[in-house]
Amino acid sequence: MRTAVIVVICSSVLGALRAQVPEQFEVASIHRNQSGTVQGGGLAGVQPGGRFMARGTTLRRLVGDAYDTTQVVGGPAWIETDRFDIDARAGGNPTLADMRRLLRSLLAERFNVVVHTETREMPVFALTVARANRALDRVAGEAGADALLVLSARRA
């Protein structure tokens, strides 16, 4: 009997927590970015007050942000070239994990994104110290500022 009471309490607490953060953004606006001035993947991020903003962002970058990864493999060629501006607002005070969940929902609804996750072995670079017995060398940078230098990369 004690176990049943705990389960009921936990279920009601989880239900109350889920009720605070909706499954979708309250308002979301998506427009194709035609400016052509944005370099790289564009700018995207969570703003205070439950806002999400993206400017000149590729769909590949948005999917990577939504699933907290830098490795997005596959998809049509336009996910790397077409850019979008997104303004979205969530109700309440969502956490970063909540915002990622809301972004995944938005991408599925508006772009029909379907994701398959898997683990792959891929080549990587290992950072190693360039000189033996020296961790990092200090060198004079521009305007007399110190800069840390001397890490080399090699294939692992």
Residue 98 burial class via C-beta count within 10 angstroms: exposed 0-12, middle 13-18, buried 19 and up:
middle
| 85 and 40 housed in the same domain | yes
**Would 135 be classed as within a structural domain?**
yes
pLDDT for res 133? 54
| 104 and 134 housed in the same domain | no
**Would 9 be classed as within a structural domain?**
no
| 26 and 103 housed in the same domain | yes
Q: What is the pTM of this model?
A: 0.64
In angstroms, the CA 139 to CA 153 distance is 19
| 44 and 97 housed in the same domain | yes
Query: Of 44-48, 125-129, 146-150, which has the strongest mean pLDDT?
Result: 44-48
pLDDT at 96 over 60: yes
**Would 119 be classed as within a structural domain?**
no
Query: Of 7-11, 109-113, 120-124, which has the strongest mean pLDDT?
Result: 109-113
pLDDT at 88 over 90: yes
Q: Please state the domain count of the chain.
A: 2
In angstroms, the CA 149 to CA 156 distance is 21
| 130 and 98 housed in the same domain | no
What confidence category does residue 10 fall into, taking pLDDT thresholds of 50, 70 and 90?
very low
| 27 and 90 housed in the same domain | yes
| 129 and 107 housed in the same domain | no
| 130 and 89 housed in the same domain | no
Q: CA 59 from chain center: how many Å?
A: 11
| 59 and 92 housed in the same domain | yes
**Would 30 be classed as within a structural domain?**
yes
Structural domain range at position 64: 22-111
**Would 133 be classed as within a structural domain?**
yes
| 100 and 129 housed in the same domain | no
**Would 144 be classed as within a structural domain?**
yes
Q: Residue 106 in contact with residue 24, Cβ under 8 Å?
A: yes
Alpha helix (H) residue ranges in the chain: 2-20, 59-66, 96-111
| 28 and 103 housed in the same domain | yes
Look up residue 101 and give its DSSP letter. Answer: H
| 105 and 28 housed in the same domain | yes
Query: Of 10-14, 19-23, 30-34, which has the strongest mean pLDDT?
Result: 30-34
**Would 80 be classed as within a structural domain?**
yes
**Would 89 be classed as within a structural domain?**
yes
pLDDT at 32 over 70: yes
Q: What is the CA radius of gyration of the chain?
A: 22
In angstroms, the CA 15 to CA 36 distance is 45
